Structure 1
Amino acid sequence: MKRLKLWSFLPAFLAAITLQAADLDITKYGAKGDGTTLNTEAIQRAIDACHQKGGGKVIVPAGNFLSGTVVLKDNVTLHLQKDAVLLGSIDLEHYKNLDPFTEGLGIDVGWALLVAVDAKNIGIEGEGAIDGQGPALKAKHILTDTRAEGQRWGLRPFLVRIVRCDGVRVNGVTLKYAGAWTSHYFQSRNIDIENVKIHSFGVAHNDGIGIDGSQDVRIKNCDIVSGDDALVFKTTSSKMACKNIEVSGLRLKSNQAGIKMGTESMAPFENIKITNCHIYDTKNGGIKLLTVDGAHLRNVEISDITMDEVRTPMLFRLGSRLSVFRKNSDTKQQTGTFENVVIRNVKAKAAADAQLKPPSGILITGVPGHYITNLTLENIHIDLAGGGSAKDAREVVPEAIDQYPEVKTFGPKIPAYGVWARHVKGLKLKNVSFTLASNDLRPALICEDGIALEVNNWKVPQTTGAQAIIRLEDVAGAQINKVEVAGKAEAFVRVEGEKSKAIKLQSNKISGMKKLVKGKAEVKPEAAAALK
């Protein structure tokens, strides 16, 4: 991957902050930290005065400062001192929506507590916190709004929204209990997020850090506990890609995904590198890379990831939902692409109580006519519960071509316990191993509608009674090399489908197999011959 050059903006930004003359305390503009006085106007006066003086810091001292929507301006940093809390009002009338849009489930959203729109050189820093009071806000909201939760939640405010800004620094603060998404960075550039703590849960849709069509981004050493996706990349507009992004040193816990890309996916995701992260106690996927609304997802590298008690460690999806989220400026697109992605050095303990029953490790699927291309999984180890039956091994997985891209969309059962791949081209699976807590009669690997599959240096755990260790269905070209199988099965490789051909095996350790290869009657003679 091309080496990213992201931080040329930082020296100028830091120098600008150093030279700024105005450090203004919000209490000098009438703000009271008693937790009950509404301080929206007082805080905004302090920000506006700081901006008019050329920039500087707006100081929030110790106390609980209740507020509705406040707007950051050019060259202003909001500095929250120790024990300072910017406390979100629980009255929806106190919030503004300065950039309305529709999110992936079709809900109109965009209200927020702290907002910046078309601003330059802004910051949020300090040892204090921003608390949206999400659970209390919801409790008050539902007293008068009797619609279903899936229809009304969009009125509740995000905690932090950064819209079309250039030069954004967020450092040291704690973000808590948003009414909806916790932090959303839309079509912005030169973003530096470091040492941020997020504890945001209790209501639906509490995403942690959301990068939406933003570029030249660094996220480092953050600790996120979120009710929804912890770290999520979106492109709700086709106008600007998520591009040139580096992430490292994150701890991620979520009721949804740890690392997710593409729930809304109109513009590309490219040149993104994520490394050295720990994902734990996550309910709906460890790593999920998706493009379903026309985006090109390419040149992404994720490495050195550990996972503990994660439901379904990985999902990769190219689909054709083709939604539009900003209907006044975008139109429906054609199916996108998913190519040149590398996932390496991953150790995962999959949760036994998962949304797939029995659990599976890795799901990979395009749609007919649109292949996930050149995906490499290397140095992967996953601990699984096992327990799959012979019937489970023949489960038919729905195509769900235009559906919301989620693990449960393809469940509740997957016919392989290790890797299930469909509509793939150039898939490379290198140095992959699994452990099983109980016997599993499903194959370790199933590939359906594949081209140029490579399997190298696998270690397959002890199982007995399975029909096959690997099943290939309509696979045109596969190399299976140096696979070591500890258990016994009817066949090492079972080949099915009229399109199967050019399957090659070399240097595999499979002493417990009754047969090296078994193919059904519809397999063409040349495919069978290639296996001998």
Structure 2
Amino acid sequence: MPNRFFLRRAITLSMLTAPLWGRPSQALAAGPNQFVITHFGAVADGVTVNTAAIQKTIEHAAAQGGGTVVVPAGVFVSGALFLKPKVNLHLEQGAVLRCSTDLKHFPAGRTRIEGHFAENFNPALINANGCDGLKISGAGTLDGAGRPIWDLFWKLRNAAPDPHNFKNIGIPRARLALIERSRDVTIEGVTFKDSQFWNLHLYRCQQVTVRNARFQVPDDYHQAPSSDGIDLDSCQNVLVEGCYFSVTDDCIAAKGSKGPRAMEDKDSPPVIGIRVRNCEFKRGHHMLALGSEATLVRDVLIEDCRVTGKVDSLAVFKLRPDTPQHYENIHFRNISVDSSGGQIVTIQPWTQYFDLKGAPPPQSIVRNISLVGIRGRLKAFGTIKPNPGQTTISDILLKDFDVRLDREKLDTADVANLRLENVVVNGKQVKA
């Protein structure tokens, strides 16, 4: 008869040496409420498409009442993933969660994009809907593997009969993250890299903090199309702090609805209460863009930031002739700039895409805009002009400038109460 002590010891050793995914569920956690994707079969070889294994990890965490899905060091390829309420995502140092470039892993469906809901466009790599308290954290990377997708975009666009009307969503592409209808969201420490489309798309979110994140495309790629850093789509109370932007589209864009009936769009509440501070902007179209789809934007403060490379404009207000727009209480404070290109402010008509749909031209308002404490070098001062007969622009304050410009004239028309106070351009005081 076998010795019972040795029999129990053999059973214990066999349990310790069994594969992790064969153990009871409580042994799958790396720590309290932490679930590592490799314990569920994910492989860090940069080739295997791990969508099923990672989604299984998410579902398991949700079934345990919530927790954190952990991506360890290594390159994990995946298609679209869908987070659940109370499930967070953590990318450890050296972790790379990379988009598959085979878009069959991002099955098209109904999604929010460009100021409306498209019925047949791709989801993001990371998708979260109704995930209050969501946290995406860590020193790892979300990698869009965008270069072949960008190359295909330009090939098709350049071959189109009218390239200027080739739609941004004309080819399948995946965003890196789409977070929608969620409160108390934190994005911290993560690098967003080489996204096929927008990097971080927030839709109808409230109380969001994006801290110490990086948004970048390769320096050697001239124009990664639609590589926006952060798109604030119908969001309220968002803090962007300590972030780094080196993209080839808008660094931060406020978005909403578009078209002559945009004010009636119940799916697109105003963008309100945006704070951006202590960020670096190395490359991008604009530090902050209002548009291309935006209707109501107010209470925005950009402060204590620096531009260290080429950014086309610090502030750009795109005035669509087909959309009623109300931009109010938008302020820039203490911005240092070291750029051989770009300009300080752009408020002017934007007509790349528009359709009045038979309606009369709508009326728009831009008021109470200030830029205070701008210093450094740029190419040009900028432009402040309305859509004639459609836009009322008033109460613009430019104060405490000390800048060097190649083109020092501010091009203005039909602006009420434009004030220049202590504005020094190329060593000379400038008046309104």
2:307 equivalent to 1:279:
yes
Query: Runs (4+) of structure 1 moved beyond 6 Å?
Result: 104-108, 140-146, 318-322
Q: Equivalent residues in 2 for 1:352-431 (5 A)? A: 360-369=380-389, 370-386=391-407, 417-431=408-422
**Distance of 1:173 and 1:78 partners within structure 2:** 10
Q: How far does the alpha carbon of each residue in 1:348-369 deviate from its partner, in whole angstroms, 9 at most, with x for none?
A: 4113xxxxxxxx3121011333
Q: Equivalent residues in 2 for 1:448-487 (5 A)? A: 459-460=429-430
- The alpha carbon displacement at 1:243 in A equals 0.5
Is contact 1:220–1:248 with CA below 8 Å preserved after alignment? yes
Residue of structure 2 aligned with 1:174, choices 172, 183, 191:
191
Equivalent residue, structure 1, for 2:83: 72
Residue of structure 2 aligned with 1:240, choices 239, 258, 269:
269
Equivalent residue, structure 1, for 2:36: 25
Equivalent residue, structure 1, for 2:27: none
Q: Equivalent residues in 2 for 1:158-307 (5 A)? A: 158-201=175-218, 202=221, 203-236=224-257, 238=265, 239-266=268-295, 268-292=296-320, 293-307=323-337
**Distance of 1:133 and 1:28 partners within structure 2:** 25
**Distance of 1:339 and 1:423 partners within structure 2:** 13
**Distance of 1:323 and 1:188 partners within structure 2:** 27
**Distance of 1:320 and 1:197 partners within structure 2:** 31
Is contact 1:262–1:290 with CA below 8 Å preserved after alignment? yes
Change (3 A) 1:117 1:317: same
- The alpha carbon displacement at 1:272 in A equals 1.1
Q: How far does the alpha carbon of each residue in 1:313-348 deviate from its partner, in whole angstroms, 9 at most, with x for none?
A: 2112367999589x9xxx998322111112111114
Q: Aligned with 1:158: secondary structure? A: coil
Paired letter, 1:50: A
Q: Aligned with 2:104: secondary structure? A: helix
Is contact 1:153–1:180 with CA below 8 Å preserved after alignment? no
Paired letter, 1:265: A
**Distance of 2:105 and 2:59 partners within structure 1:** 19
The range that moved more, 198-207 or 160-169, is 198-207
Paired letter, 2:82: V
Q: Aligned with 2:324: secondary structure? A: coil
- The alpha carbon displacement at 1:129 in A equals 0.6
Is contact 2:37–2:69 with CA below 8 Å preserved after alignment? yes
Q: TM-score, normalised by structure 2?
A: 0.80
Q: How far does the alpha carbon of each residue in 1:156-203 deviate from its partner, in whole angstroms, 9 at most, with x for none?
A: 111111122222110011110000111111111111100101212542
**Distance of 1:123 and 1:204 partners within structure 2:** 28
**Distance of 1:259 and 1:67 partners within structure 2:** 31
Paired letter, 2:333: S
Q: Aligned with 2:58: secondary structure? A: helix
Aligned identity (percent) is: 25
Higher relative contact order at CA 8 Å, sep ≥6: structure 1 or structure 2?
2
- The alpha carbon displacement at 1:82 in A equals 0.9
Q: Equivalent residues in 2 for 1:14-53 (5 A)? A: 22-53=33-64
Is contact 1:124–1:170 with CA below 8 Å preserved after alignment? yes
Equivalent residue, structure 2, for 1:346: 374
Change (3 A) 1:146 1:385: closer
2:120 equivalent to 1:92:
no
Which structure 1 segments of 5+ residues have no match? 1-19, 352-359, 387-416, 437-457, 461-469, 471-479, 481-532
Change (3 A) 1:289 1:170: same
Q: How far does the alpha carbon of each residue in 1:190-242 deviate from its partner, in whole angstroms, 9 at most, with x for none?
A: 11100101212542111111111101111100011112111221113643111
Q: Aligned with 1:313: secondary structure? A: strand
Q: Aligned with 1:156: secondary structure? A: coil
**Distance of 2:153 and 2:176 partners within structure 1:** 16
How many residues in Structure 1 have an aligned counterpart in Structure 2? 379
Q: Equivalent residues in 2 for 1:316-355 (5 A)? A: 316-317=347-348, 323=354, 334-351=362-379
Change (3 A) 1:74 1:49: same
Is contact 1:58–1:76 with CA below 8 Å preserved after alignment? yes
Equivalent residue, structure 1, for 2:338: 308
- The alpha carbon displacement at 1:291 in A equals 4.1
- The alpha carbon displacement at 1:142 in A equals 8.0
Which structure 2 segments of 5+ residues have no match? 1-30, 259-264
Is contact 1:73–1:120 with CA below 8 Å preserved after alignment? no
Change (3 A) 1:142 1:39: farther
Is contact 1:265–1:291 with CA below 8 Å preserved after alignment? no
**Distance of 1:342 and 1:255 partners within structure 2:** 21
Q: Aligned with 2:62: secondary structure? A: helix
Change (3 A) 1:307 1:96: farther
Quote the RMSD (CA, aligned, Å).
3.1
Change (3 A) 1:190 1:58: same
Q: How far does the alpha carbon of each residue in 1:46-73 deviate from its partner, in whole angstroms, 9 at most, with x for none?
A: 1111122221100101111100100111
**Distance of 1:298 and 1:111 partners within structure 2:** 32
**Distance of 2:271 and 2:137 partners within structure 1:** 24
Change (3 A) 1:290 1:250: same
